């Protein structure tokens, strides 16, 4: 860990308001990660809202699909019916969802100190971090790995992320990974985990 990362982690730990989550700041375990995916009403965290989060442990070469999380949240504003095509969740699905604090009470211990793996992770963390900071006093301290960027590096994308990595489906096709259902955070997390095992 670099001195800058150590300094940042130390500062974040001092901001922590939930002592039960102190283990999130410990050095990460070897060859363990957590794949994560979020569904939102849109892509702008200033005006759109988080609707669901899925997280799945990766242990070495094993994806623990039997013990993952898929948490549906109740946003402060109900999504329009015409946005179902984006996130696949009906208004009735999220009306009975959990609060953001209830979601984080399950999600954060599940993540613990494992590095996060996702696809286009800056979008997911832009929605998660404000909620996490409100909940525990600081943003996520975890290392974040983006399958999109890892794939670009593997393909020699020195001049930026190549076009074929703009969509997760393109990466899955390249590695002959079967696609699961769309608009489902859990399926997306599983597919992201499978892709990660190829590009890590």
127: in domain: yes
Q: Is the pLDDT of residue 162 over 70?
A: no
Q: What is the pTM of this model?
A: 0.90
Tell me what pLDDT residue 94 has: 83
**Are 96 and 112 a contacting pair, CB within 8 Å?**
no
Say if strands 50-59 and 62-63 run parallel, antiparallel, or are unpaired.
antiparallel
* Domain total of the chain: 1
Q: What is the pLDDT of residues 100-117, one digit of tens each?
A: 999 999 999 999 999 999
Supply the range of the domain harboring residue 32. Answer: 22-199
Q: What is the pLDDT of residues 30-58, one digit of tens each?
A: 999 999 999 998 889 999 999 999 999 99
Q: Is the pLDDT of residue 181 over 80?
A: no
* Mean pLDDT for all residues in the chain: 89
184: in domain: yes
104: in domain: yes
139: in domain: yes
Q: Is the pLDDT of residue 157 over 90?
A: no
**CATH number for position 111:** 3.30.420.10
Q: Is the pLDDT of residue 180 over 80?
A: yes
SS3 for 145-160 is EEHHHHHHHHCCCCCC
Dihedral-angle region of residue 156 (phi above 0 means left; psi in -120 to 50 means alpha; beta otherwise): left
**Are 140 and 164 a contacting pair, CB within 8 Å?**
no
Tell me what pLDDT residue 8 has: 84
C-alpha 79/C-alpha 41 separation (Å) is 6
Q: Taking residues 92-100, what's their average pLDDT?
A: 88
Q: Taking residues 143-151, what's their average pLDDT?
A: 95
Residue 190, H or E segment: helix 185-199
**Are 121 and 131 a contacting pair, CB within 8 Å?**
no
Taking CA atoms, 99 is separated from 105, 131, 152, in Å, by 10, 11, 36
Q: Under 8 Å CB-to-CB from 52, ≥6 apart: which residues?
A: 38, 39, 70, 71, 72, 73, 87, 89, 94, 97, 185
Tell me what pLDDT residue 87 has: 54
Cα Rg of the chain, angstroms? 17
6: in domain: no
Q: Which residue has the tokens 């002959």?
A: 176
152: in domain: yes
Taking CA atoms, 197 is separated from 24, 55, 61, 192, 193, in Å, by 23, 16, 7, 9, 6
13: in domain: no
11: in domain: no
């Amino acid at each position: 860990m670099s001195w800058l990362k150590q300094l940042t982690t130390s500062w974040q730990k001092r901001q922590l308001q939930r002592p039960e989550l102190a283990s999130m700041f410990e050095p990460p375990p070897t060859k363990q990660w957590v794949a994560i995916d979020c569904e939102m009403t849109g892509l702008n965290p200033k005006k759109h809202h988080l609707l669901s989060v899925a997280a799945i442990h990766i242990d070495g070469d094993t994806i623990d699909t039997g013990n993952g999380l898929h948490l549906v949240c109740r946003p402060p504003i109900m999504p329009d019916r015409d946005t179902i095509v984006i996130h696949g969740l009906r208004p009735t699905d999220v009306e009975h969802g959990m609060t953001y604090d209830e979601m984080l009470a399950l999600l954060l211990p599940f993540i613990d100190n494992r590095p996060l793996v996702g696809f286009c992770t800056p979008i997911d963390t832009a929605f998660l971090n404000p909620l996490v900071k409100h909940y525990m006093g600081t943003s996520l301290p975890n290392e974040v790995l983006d399958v999109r960027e890892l794939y670009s590096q593997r393909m020699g994308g020195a001049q930026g992320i190549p076009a074929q990595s703009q969509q997760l489906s393109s990466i899955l096709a390249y590695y002959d990974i079967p696609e699961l259902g769309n608009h489902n955070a859990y399926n997306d997390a599983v597919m992201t985990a499978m892709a990660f095992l190829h590009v890590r």
